[in-house]
Amino acid sequence: MTIRPVLLSLAIALTAASDASAAPAFMPVPKVTPTLLIEPARSMLRKFFDALGDDDVHDDHYDWNDYRNATSRKDRIRDWQRMQLDAQKDYWRQQKEIQKRAIKAQRGW
């Protein structure tokens, strides 16, 4: 319990030494105009995860607006359905490989 009195005395010393006690209780916050460009959080996180070795290379050169403007709705639906079918095939292929490994492990191969 000796830390609490030390922290309390430190806090009292800092508030007494600061100019915060001379400020009025309710002071309007000055308006600050942002001078920096605002960057979306997704790209900041993407840069963070790229440093961890993420293989997310498609987001770097993929532009949804260009794709949308260059293709018809019918083509985009066809592409989406093809991607879903490919993902389903990949899923079942992975499940088959997992099952093969489980059988081999069970038999001691």
- What are 78-97's pLDDT values in tens digits? 999 999 999 999 999 999 99
Distance of alpha carbon 68 from alpha carbon 74, whole angstroms:
11
Domain boundaries, position 87? 79-109
Distance of alpha carbon 106 from alpha carbon 103, whole angstroms:
5
What is the tally of structural domains in the chain? 1
Q: Is 73 inside a domain boundary? A: no
Q: Is 53 inside a domain boundary? A: no
Confidence of residue 9 (pLDDT cuts 50, 70, 90): confident
| The pLDDT value given to residue 62 | 67
Please name the residue ranges forming H helices in 18-109: 41-51, 58-61, 64-70, 73-107
Q: Is 63 inside a domain boundary? A: no
Q: Is 94 inside a domain boundary? A: yes
Q: Is 41 inside a domain boundary? A: no
Q: Is 105 inside a domain boundary? A: yes
| The pLDDT value given to residue 49 | 63
| The pLDDT value given to residue 91 | 96
Decide: helix, strand or coil at residue 99: helix
Confidence of residue 64 (pLDDT cuts 50, 70, 90): confident
Higher per-residue pLDDT: 9 or 86: 86
pTM: 0.40
Q: Is 99 inside a domain boundary? A: yes
| The pLDDT value given to residue 63 | 77
Q: Is 70 inside a domain boundary? A: no
Higher per-residue pLDDT: 18 or 44: 44
